[in-house]
Amino acid sequence: MVKVKMKTEILAPAGSIESIYPAVRMGADAVYIGSKLFSARKGAVNFSEEELKCAVDYCHAHDVKVYLTLNTTLHDSELEEAEQLIKRISLLNTDAVIVQDMGVAELIKQISPQLRLHASTQMTVHTPAGAKALYSAGFSRIVLARELTKAEIKEIIDSCPIETEVFVHGALCMCVSGQCYFSAMLGSRSGNRGQCAQPCRLPFGVNGIAGNALSLKDNSLIEHIGELAGMGVTSLKIEGRMKRPEYVAAAVNACRIALDTGVADIETLGELESVFSRQGFTDGYFADRRGREMFGVRTKDDVTAATEKVFSAIRQKYKDEQPKIPVNMALSIRTGERIYLSVSDESGNTATAYGEIPQEAINVPINEQKCRQSLEKTGGTPYFSKTVNVELDDNLSVPASQLNKLRREALELLTEKRTKRIPLVINDYKLPERKLHTAQNPVLRAVFKHSDVPDEFAVCDLAFVPYYTPCNKLGALQDKGINVGIEIPRVIFGAENDVRKKLSEARNAGVSHVLAHTQDAILIAQELGMKVHGGFGLNITNTLSAQWAAQNKIEDIQLSCELNLKQIEEIGGDIKRGVCVYGYLPLMICRNCPAKYAGFDCKSCKKQSYLTDRKDIKQRLFCNGITTEVLNAVPTVMTDRLNEIKNVDFHIMEFYVENHVEIVKKLRQYQEKINVEANYTRGLYYRGVL
């Protein structure tokens, strides 16, 4: 494997055109922006098409790259609009597109194959296997999960030539990105579609102890930037497209100083904390120090620290253009010839402006010093004169105004060349006509978070158990006539080798089916020659994503839990698909356990902890030894509405906390097509999400 060493870039957020200027002028090497459509920060102002053009031109004139976000899941009704948007942005000369939806990624490949693909953090990339899978799929960069330790980041970098992007400053979600359904379930506002209402910032107690057990301090790795650059991280990402321009300026400035000098400037960090903080910052994930100290909320002191005096001081730093692009100038003033000025940059662009024929001097002739003084006045532009070469005949007169005009015209022409749009190949691609899927007589599948599978589940098409289930237990289940499979958790921080080992043992014990929710799990299972079934963590919400799964030899898929019944029915393609008809939906999956907020550890918790919200509603915490999942307070139940779920090939029952007797009762409930739950939800099957 050959990995080319690249200069580490500082990547800044820009939620509006007003944030472009501080990002660029304070030293960002790249910015990421969103259009009005399909952006994971729909609460940001975002950019119109004309503003996108202006932003790209301004950034490219300053040697700053632009990455556009199309990082939401899409519904079938939105694919045609996405097709047109991809064609338009391919003409903008953006440097890359950030995506979450694998169907969208495939659409981009078909329409604009030269457009670079960056995998959003919403794709839950957190292992070497995940990096390798996306590299093979044609992605040039992955945005790593924010929960990784230093050692885990290094392992991923060393495993694969793909570029890596690491969050170094900004808000931390409690849930691993791409796997959160909290906002969707509570208010139909999907984080996967850029509509998160941030319910996690509200008060949530643990085991009756009040507090904010789902709110983390903001992440800040600015003091580790030297380490990250030394490890080979490609891009240092600042979070905050919904924050004000002064925040962008302060964060970029702090990162720039830390990267250039190797030292995090104390004064600059203090300024950044004044602009926005939640009781300070944390580096808990990177430093592998998870626990109570990582939690924090926005306090009155945090708010009052952000004074107009602070903002005004920051604005002063970026109000003027910063000349950062070196240019070489060559001025020619010859008798009987038109004056001309050529300017060239380090990228090989050259522009020339012409003036009048110089007159013979009547009094004082122009000299080289005056020429240089006029040409070096590049203020208000991104340029500064690196070299000035003057060829000047004797006894000639040239007004300073003409030299100033030449300088302005030459630099404007140079900017035009630097921002010239290089046309990408845009294929004449049209979305294929959707072939509707038809299915009858769905079979039943079950997913158990333990290996206590009742004998009655021999009626299931498949019954999945955890990857760490002992081989003798797998054998016993098979002996009972249960068609058993293995589930790989949605997140396996640091456990990739253990998962491979356990899967290999299960395969040798005769198990051939694997439930995989993420790219890394798919790769691991397929490398072992096992049959892969796509789980809900893949967030498949449209026909193109379903087709991607089929093309990548996935046996069948569980559709996203955020789809309503109509959307489920309309997803086309031939691949078999299923939905959950019973189960406590995991709203969040967390690496820093919420129970630690209240001082509980694994020994004192005994896997019996729960959250309590402002209405005293309890939500169980489920721990698998790697992560903790926050379960919905009541189960999703559709066992009495099965006839309303159209065009699916299998139904799924999920069992997290139910005991043996309860599980058997739930199976009978399904078989009899009834609902005997006192408290339950229909999930999003009728509501859907924004």
d(CA 219, CA 240) in angstroms, rounded, equals 12
Mean pLDDT, the chain, rounded, equals 94
Phi, psi dihedral angles at 440 (to 5 degrees): -135, 155
Average pLDDT over residues 296-323: 93
pLDDT score of 44 more than 70? no
Average pLDDT over residues 206-210: 94
Greater confidence (486 vs 84) lies with: 486
3-class secondary structure, 75: coil
User: What pLDDT shows up at residue 432?
Assistant: 84
Beta strands in 456-597 (DSSP E): 462-466, 484-487, 513-516, 531-534, 556-558, 576-583, 586-590
Average pLDDT over residues 605-622: 93
What domains can you pick out in the chain, each with its CATH number?
Answer: 9-182+204-318 (3.20.20.380), 325-418 (no CATH), 443-584+636-671 (3.20.20.70)
pLDDT score of 333 more than 60? yes
pLDDT score of 47 more than 90? no
* Least confident residue range of 318-322, 386-390, 426-430: 426-430
The reported pTM is 0.94
d(CA 331, CA 353) in angstroms, rounded, equals 10
Q: How far is CA 350 from the centre of its chain?
A: 38
User: What pLDDT shows up at residue 397?
Assistant: 93
pLDDT score of 248 more than 60? yes
User: What pLDDT shows up at residue 45?
Assistant: 60
- pLDDT digit string, tens, across residues 442-476: 999 999 999 999 999 999 999 999 999 999 999 99
Do the Cβ atoms of 677 and 665 come closer than 8 Å? no
DSSP 323-368: --EEEEEEEEE-TTS--EEEEE-TTS-EEEEE-PPPEEPSSSPP-H
pLDDT score of 37 more than 80? no
Do the Cβ atoms of 339 and 332 come closer than 8 Å? yes
d(CA 558, CA 249) in angstroms, rounded, equals 43
pLDDT score of 48 more than 90? no
d(CA 681, CA 679) in angstroms, rounded, equals 7
Do the Cβ atoms of 630 and 424 come closer than 8 Å? no
d(CA 244, CA 318) in angstroms, rounded, equals 14
pLDDT score of 65 more than 90? yes
* pLDDT above 70 coverage of the chain, percent: 98
Greater confidence (189 vs 430) lies with: 189
pLDDT-based confidence at residue 34 (cuts at 50, 70, 90): confident
Average pLDDT over residues 263-288: 94
User: What pLDDT shows up at residue 160?
Assistant: 95
C-alpha closest to that of 197 among 41, 19, 34, 36: 41
pLDDT score of 159 more than 60? yes
pLDDT score of 158 more than 60? yes
Give the C-alpha distances (Å, rounded to integers) separating 182 from 48, 178, 224, 633, 682.
Answer: 30, 11, 31, 11, 15
C-alpha closest to that of 124 among 657, 522, 600: 522
User: What pLDDT shows up at residue 77?
Assistant: 93
- pLDDT digit string, tens, across residues 120-143: 999 999 999 999 999 999 999 999
User: What pLDDT shows up at residue 4?
Assistant: 58
Tokens 């000299």 locate to: 367
User: What pLDDT shows up at residue 265?
Assistant: 87
pLDDT score of 89 more than 90? no
DSSP 166: E
What are the b/e assignments for 371-396, b being 16+ CB within 10 Å? Answer: bbebbeebeebbbebeebebebeeeb
pLDDT-based confidence at residue 42 (cuts at 50, 70, 90): low
d(CA 635, CA 586) in angstroms, rounded, equals 10
Average pLDDT over residues 511-518: 98
Average pLDDT over residues 47-60: 90
d(CA 183, CA 190) in angstroms, rounded, equals 6
d(CA 354, CA 56) in angstroms, rounded, equals 28
- pLDDT digit string, tens, across residues 654-678: 999 999 999 999 999 999 999 999 9
670's enclosing H/E stretch is: helix 660-671
pLDDT score of 355 more than 60? yes
User: What pLDDT shows up at residue 362?
Assistant: 87
Helices 245-261, 308-318: inter-axial angle, 10-degree rounding:
60
User: What pLDDT shows up at residue 49?
Assistant: 84
pLDDT score of 57 more than 90? yes
d(CA 119, CA 69) in angstroms, rounded, equals 10
Average pLDDT over residues 385-412: 95
User: What pLDDT shows up at residue 500?
Assistant: 98
User: What pLDDT shows up at residue 184?
Assistant: 96
pLDDT score of 41 more than 60? no
pLDDT-based confidence at residue 370 (cuts at 50, 70, 90): very high
DSSP 17: H
- pLDDT digit string, tens, across residues 66-77: 999 999 999 999
| Residue 23 CB neighbours (<10 A) | 30
